[in-house]
Structure 1
């Protein structure tokens, strides 16, 4: 007898489960779960790690570990066995170990590759659609007649007028590429002449350049980037392979 699951009037069977998963856009999430389970299958946890993971689970679920009936009720509601639950609550620890084992030796080279995008800048911006006004504002700033921030509040036509034109700190990937390129090659305090960027005429001034550092927070971020890139590529590859095999 083939197993089935009934939800309301819908009966899910081996014959209709694939088109149903596709319709509900659940193939990629399912593939993700399977790939992650396979990745951590051979990774072991210590007894201390297991105990901590279980304690955290009971706290999150607001359950008393000394009342087994609470856990049994939860398992039945979620269609899980005790063994399956333990695998679920240990997977976070196992994934962190897997990331470290797989990519920790690549972090420095990946950081150097990404560093230019990870550096941050603080800059000031005035934008207008009037070329004549932009030129006038530039001369007033250059000649010291008015402060950049004051003119930005009065004349800039974007949200930056609220902050006196000041933006940041932001990574170099955040501003428009042409703005980022100009600021990367300028000196702090240098006011750049009006430049057309799309529909806007902009006046820029680099306030500060903040070089990225490979500290613990950065390592954590880059490790997650490498992991997510691998995971997304694996999902695409595995799902496409299964579809081709049909």
Structure 2
């Protein structure tokens, strides 16, 4: 049996690797790393880009002296070449993402836009229908502000913000609330609605349409990548150990 790693008095055998990854809940990260390495295997960068990435990694790790770098490498069990590869990996991954999905962002954005639009809204929730109806008319007739009544009567965490929530993606609230907000006009107050165990008052404060700016473009490319990566890992199927008969035989 091949011994591959010794940590103190513990010697890790080849056939223990998968069980240890599972025990420490590292299998998802391990598979993710394998799939990324496979994806970026053919991606290249210039020597200047590689050097810039390496220097940036040294700065982030605060390895500003040769002594600090040597000590860190020893503590991680890495060589300088391995550190350089680790530093360049995010750059290669970004190049892979943009080469694969950069020209698909516009159409993907249009298909996702209704879920990317954001809203700011006010909410009061209570389990007392009579109270909810009273609060609705007090707000509607201008007797009290929504914020003051939310602070005093709302039973949710929104009481701490005067009932104000957002901006959040319109898909984030409860589906029934999201549907209501999607057909609301700013300032529109809805009568009490049943929502599970609650009766809620909701008012749309602001609608913020999604725009395909640089930040949104990066977000969508990352989302497309994560969807792809999840599919690739699912395609792998069960993870099995493959050992030769010699490896599986007990030592004499």
1:243 aligns with 2:243: no
Gaps of 5+ in 2: 244-252
8 A Cα contact 2:3 2:11, kept in partner: no
The number of equivalent residue pairs is 243
Q: Residues 149-193 of structure 1: CA distance to partner in whole angstroms, max 9, x if unpaired?
A: 232222222222222222211111221111111111121112111
Q: SS at 2:240's partner residue?
A: helix
Number of the residue aligned with 2:215:
217
Number of the residue aligned with 1:108:
106
1:43 aligns with 2:40: no
Number of the residue aligned with 1:28:
28
Gaps of 5+ in 1: none
* Higher mean C-alpha deviation, range 171-180 or range 13-22: 13-22
Are the structure 2 counterparts of residues 149 and 84 from structure 1 closer, same or farther at C-alpha, using a change threshold of 3 Å? closer
1:71 deviation in Å? 4.2
| Structure-to-structure mapping, 1:60-139, within 5 angstroms | 60-64=60-64, 67=66, 71-139=69-137
1:34 deviation in Å? 1.6
Number of the residue aligned with 1:193:
191
8 A Cα contact 2:18 2:241, kept in partner: no
8 A Cα contact 2:123 2:164, kept in partner: yes
1:244 deviation in Å? 9.3
Number of the residue aligned with 1:234:
232
| Structure-to-structure mapping, 1:162-177, within 5 angstroms | 162-177=160-175
Q: SS at 1:188's partner residue?
A: coil
RMSD across aligned positions (CA) = 2.2
Q: SS at 1:103's partner residue?
A: helix
For 1:124 and 1:64, the matched residues in 2 are separated by 50
Q: What is the TM-score normalised by the length of structure 2?
A: 0.87
1:35 deviation in Å? 1.4
1:225 deviation in Å? 0.9
